[in-house]
Structure 1
């Protein structure tokens, strides 16, 4: 039997003051944060049900000074600027903020106001591909004041500009490669949370892009898909990214869990692991050493479990990681999806801080 650490207790809590009202008809982002990335004193957040980024700056001991970035102002999104992108991964690397959607299908649901009858079952048979979910792109990071950062929505004098993998009628080249992959392809026809393809983590090192999969979990093992993504041309005005070469799979023994988020920590990767299906737990953080070093021939990795995270039942599901400092030491901010009422106050949501040793 695999030994796991005892359930951790947060060493602190941080208030994320998402005080601005969302757009009409959109849920408040405090209720469904699904991705996080920090640089300096700035925290970038992504949510499930929109195509926006939420940005906060460190103010005292909390993150506040909320502002919203509409990704439709930087990119020609195939589903339009208001269709949800299901942002599930954010990563900071070498002057860029990378963003990925889940690349997952959705299943039509029975109406909540009615009993499950034949018509409700028929609705379940309908699957939908939402093109904005196929998004993978990056935005130039710019330091606006000491320790505080923003992203550019237009080309900069240094030649950097917003870039994305083009998304056509059948998805991006990355999505087409996933569908053609002999192991992953069959799972592209299944919805998220039903062991279908579901990207829920992003880690970047130059042109190496790692996509952590919540699903599928195959043979009890989780998967990280590595792709090489680079500008399609050296021409400064070239706006698009391109997939170069074949996909590479990294197989991880996470005790049957899938990947819920990824974060670089020096040469290592911290993995937030959780259930693939719609379950509340368990949830834990693993350390995968040496991702930036040459990959050994063995594709199966057994990362070390370093934090057993508390979780609620039907609420408070650990969903996003961001490195922070607490008391002069490295720590890890954990943001929960479906927060319990105790975590919510106005437009703010409370996130937990855990110590990370080693």
Structure 2
């Protein structure tokens, strides 16, 4: 197991400090760290600075990138959340991939409302159209930093999203035919319904982790391969890669009854951040699957094929680990892993603008 060796302080611009309360993803690209709040429609870029006194790593010089400037969202409004739950960088092709939860949501009960109103709220299930987002955005280097671009004339890269609308997309329309998963599409994510959390790039394909459903203790990963739709440079469709011509593959993982909360690739290995599928605090564990996805077949991965590398701290009603990424801490120190949290505890907040994430060394 690994222990926390340090903290990474993420500092946000004045007026945007509320973003720190609910970070759901993290991705490092060179000297930039990209994060997102799951209630926003933007990606946030921070500059990774040298370690401050005491060894604390500082990430600041915050710049916000509205996704509406790069993509045609199903609902083009700044307050129409995407529920960003996956972020992954394709180093070979120069794209940053982003995915929404694709989940429905149930309204919360609120302590200041009478019982009958809360009962009505708890019976109300809604779909936010921007949650059905899966897209890629070109990343370009500008000096020692990285920027997003809608199109790059030099090499023809373009921003593009998976074909869909405010009711679904190519992925959910395919899942609607699946005997195992289709019945979970109308169920809200936090009720063990269909809920994407976590994404990783494997060559030309993407892995999507499902927080739910968890089926008799088995978590699900979906493998897809998006490609441009004919002559369109801004619309993606899914290739047929699965059995009997399905546009996805299903993989089942024994994660001790937990669902997937994030994914990242470490060399030939896959790291899985696993946590509760329901609205619970913990437990939270990072698993390593060594040499994952060398096969082109659908897989069932048992517990003995996975290595438990980290038990992640969690709070009581707060500090829910949601995002992780590799974080270079120098060759001598070993491989670093940064974890950021949703519903952060007050103790993680520094001043009016900053929040801390945990930095671990993976053995």
Shorter-chain TM-score above 0.5: yes
The answer for the alignment partner of 1:268 in structure 2 is: 269
1:210 aligned to which of 198, 207, 210 = 207
Distance in 1 (alpha carbons) for counterparts of 2:85 and 2:324: 11
Question: 4+ runs of 1 displaced by more than 6 Å?
Answer: none
Task: Give, in angstroms, the shift of residue 17 of structure 1.
Answer: 0.8
The answer for the alignment partner of 2:236 in structure 1 is: 241
Maintained 8 Å contact 2:250/2:299: no
1:54-93 superposed matches below 5 A: 54-61=44-51, 62-82=58-78, 83-93=80-90
Maintained 8 Å contact 1:20/1:67: no
Distance in 1 (alpha carbons) for counterparts of 2:82 and 2:256: 29
Task: Give, in angstroms, the shift of residue 297 of structure 1.
Answer: 6.2
Distance in 1 (alpha carbons) for counterparts of 2:296 and 2:290: 11
The answer for the alignment partner of 1:319 in structure 2 is: 322
Unaligned runs of 5+ in 2: 52-57, 241-245
1:42-121 superposed matches below 5 A: 42-61=32-51, 62-82=58-78, 83-93=80-90, 94=92, 95-117=94-116, 119-121=117-119
2:19 aligned to which of 10, 29, 53 = 29
- Counting matched residue pairs gives 343
Show CA shifts across 1:90-145 (max 9, x none): 0011211000000000112344312322x432332221111100000001111112
| Aligned-pair Cα RMSD in Å | 1.7
Distance in 1 (alpha carbons) for counterparts of 2:44 and 2:308: 30
The answer for the alignment partner of 1:18 in structure 2 is: 12
1:1-358 superposed matches below 5 A: 5=1, 8-22=2-16, 28-61=18-51, 62-82=58-78, 83-93=80-90, 94=92, 95-117=94-116, 119-146=117-144, 148-233=145-230, 235=231, 238-245=233-240, 246=246, 247-295=248-296, 298-302=299-303, 303-328=306-331, 329-345=334-350, 346-357=352-363
Unaligned runs of 5+ in 1: none
| CA gap 1:153/1:14 in 2 versus in 1, 3 angstroms | same
Task: Give, in angstroms, the shift of residue 155 of structure 1.
Answer: 4.1
Maintained 8 Å contact 2:250/2:298: no
